[in-house]
Amino acid sequence: MTDTQGTESATEAPAERRAPGDAPARPRGLGPLGWLRWGWRQLTTMRTALVLLFLVAVGAVPGSILPQRGEAPERVEQYLQDHRTAGPFLDKLKMFDVFASPWFAAIYILLFVSLAGCVIPRAAKHLQAMRARPPAAPRNLERLPQAASFETGRTPDEVLAEARKVLKRRRFRVDAADGAVAAEKGYLGETGNLVFHLALLGLLFALGLGNSFGYRGNVLLSEGKTFANSLSNYDQFKPGRQFDTDEMAPFTLTLDKFKAEYETKGDKRGQATDFSARVRFKDDPSAKERPYDLKINHPLKVGGAKVYLLGHGYAPKFTVRDAKGNIAFQDSVPFLAMEPQNLTSEGVIKVPDADPEQLAFYAILWPTAVASDDGKQIVSAFPAALRPVLTISTFTGDIGLDSGVPQSVYQLPALKDGRLKPLPGGSKLLEPGESFTLPGGKGTVTFDGLDEWISLSVNDDPGRVPALVAAVLAVFGVATSFLVRRRRVWVRAGAGEDGRTVVRVGGLTLGNPTAEFDEITAALSGARPGGEEPAPATGKKE
pLDDT at 14: 52
Average of per-residue pLDDT across 251-267 = 91
- Is pLDDT at 219 greater than 60 in this prediction? yes
User: How many whole angstroms separate alpha carbon 520 and alpha carbon 513?
Assistant: 13
Taking the C-alpha atoms of residue 453 and residue 449, their distance in angstroms, rounded to an integer, is: 13
Contact 359, 324 (CB under 8 A): no
User: Among 210, 298, 292, which Cα is nearest to 251's?
Assistant: 292
pLDDT for res 369: 94
pLDDT of residue 477: 92
Assess whether pLDDT exceeds 70 at residue 27.
no
Burial of residue 380 (CB within 10 Å: 0-12, 13-18, 19+) is buried
Cα 20 from Cα 18, distance rounded (Å): 7
The maximal CA–CA distance of the chain, rounded, in angstroms, is 127
Nearest residue to 410 via CA among 345, 359, 329, 322: 345
pLDDT for the residue numbered 50 = 86
pLDDT bin (cut points 50, 70, 90) of residue 22 is: low
Q: How far does Cα 199 stand from its chain's mean position?
A: 14
Contact yes or no for 399/358 (Cβ under 8 A):
yes
d(CA 91, CA 97): 8
Distance CA 258, CA 274 (A): 11
Strands (E), 113-159: 146-152
> What average pLDDT does range 503-530 have in this prediction?
81
Give the chain's domains with CATH numbers: 20-131 (no CATH), 141-186+485-538 (3.30.310.80), 212-312+458-473 (no CATH), 316-450 (no CATH)
pLDDT tens, position by position, 164-181: 999 999 999 999 888 899
- Single out the residue of 180, 184, 129, 186 nearest to residue 159, CA to CA: 180
Per-residue model confidence (pLDDT) at position 386: 93
**Residue 521: in which H helix or E strand, if any?**
helix 516-525
What per-residue confidence (pLDDT) applies to 534? 40
Q: Cα torsion at 310, 314, 319, 322 (round to 10°)? A: -80
First-last CA distance in the chain? 67
Q: Is 60:98 a contact under the CB 8 Å cutoff?
A: yes
What's the pTM value of the predicted model, to 2 decimals?
0.65
